[in-house]
Structure 1
């Protein structure tokens, strides 16, 4: 016999318990991300979570095992997912500011800002690679010109050895 949904009470943890155990908060944060992921252009996976927050998989793994996020990471959770600092740090009060989750438009805007910052970083990396490639190409071009000049001045190969080069000049290349 199944129980109607309205009779199921949501799972609640005592506040002191949540305050001491970050991995439970992590699970709540991750579940919230999964519930909004597709609406902000991410897959509801641990990888999507890491991409959205711009954190490493190792950091996410540590959170899931109970390691507290840094102040910078708490700021990301606040700014990008709408969790209140009070709830993140103490476990008290509503997990979301102003009594609810961020509006979908705000979440999408924050997701877009995160993507833009990621793309800007990638552009900077590619520009650096381009500068390095141009420098290497310029050096290769300089060496090529130097070698060409040397070949034109010194001639090609041994002057006394017969070659197919410069036959009209008596084998003098």
Structure 2
């Protein structure tokens, strides 16, 4: 073998190893990705039991039930559909009814979303981007809230 052939063989082998490493990393990351879903998306797509997703929407008025011991039950809505949520843990201080949230977890066999993380907005004019866009796309976003959100985005 000439030096040129050895060099080309080495470059080809390095490319193969690098391509394999990138493929393995992408395959490994694909199992940990969580997709954002609104209650309407969940109703339309019939999310698989046990599949990790992010559920976003508004906490439905008069739906928070803390009487089940350490488990907190509430419903998340996008004004069209509603999903019951079960959460075991400490809720954020700003969690309340009528507020935008994002919860991470999975759907169980009974159609209840089991959340292991709940994120709430940090002030009156902020709503998670995914929730805002979902509500706006479905026509459930109120004009005065939209003006406040646009004003906030100009500041940032």
Tell me the TM-score normalised to structure 1 length. Answer: 0.21
Tell me which protein shows more helix as a share of its residues: 1
> Over alpha carbons, which structure has the higher Rg?
1
Tell me which protein shows more strand as a share of its residues: 2
**Which is bigger in relative contact order (C-alpha 8 A, separation at least 6)?**
2
Tell me the TM-score normalised to structure 2 length. Answer: 0.23
